[in-house]
Amino acid sequence: MSPGRPELRVNGRAVDLEEVPVEERLLDTLRWRLGLKGTKDGCRSGACGACTVLLDGRTALSCLALTHELEGSEVLTVESLSSTPVGRRVERAFVEEGALQCGYCTPGFVVALTGLLEEHGSSVPTTTLLEELGTNLCRCTGYRSIVRAVERARRELP
């Protein structure tokens, strides 16, 4: 990468934006250009949360963001979360509580919950976390195991 070229950082890796079409969504850059398949393509309209990533430390829907508009930003996907203590705790809580079912929505929930817990810490009430996660949809668990995972992750923060 040459100095002065526009770039984006994804999981610590520089992405040269000159190689990305201007109209490309971040979701497509992640999945098809970078091979990060953990970010799921659910609705492409911001209604399901399956494509949630952390953008400069805050949750964001990658299906609604144009990659070129993110120059200079840092994106973290589900593939990078096990490198953080909170991310590891959230992943473990989802496994321990069986909040995985088919697994399609799981990465979005895990990324969103990790972001919320990193931002607010364990002092945030579970009800607030669940409200914030209300835009993430699951079609097969009935949410009980996800609620238990949220409670466990919050309670057992490192």
Q: Are residues 91 and 121 in the same domain?
A: yes
Q: Would residue 45 count as lying in a domain?
A: yes
Q: Are residues 126 and 75 in the same domain?
A: no
Residue 37, domain extent: 7-79
In this structure, what CATH number is given to the domain that contains residue 96? 1.10.150.120
Q: Would residue 1 count as lying in a domain?
A: no
Residue 46 token pair:
């911001």
The answer to whether 81 and 87 are in contact (CB under 8 A) is yes
pLDDT per residue as tens, the chain (158 positions): 556 788 999 999 999 999 899 999 999 999 999 999 999 999 999 999 999 999 999 999 999 999 999 999 999 999 999 999 999 999 999 999 999 888 899 999 999 999 999 999 988 899 999 999 999 999 887 799 999 999 999 999 86
Q: Would residue 2 count as lying in a domain?
A: no
Domain count along the chain = 2
**How far apart, in Å, are the Cα atoms of 90 and each of 7, 46, 131, 139?**
30, 23, 17, 20
Its pTM stands at 0.94
Q: Are residues 123 and 112 in the same domain?
A: yes
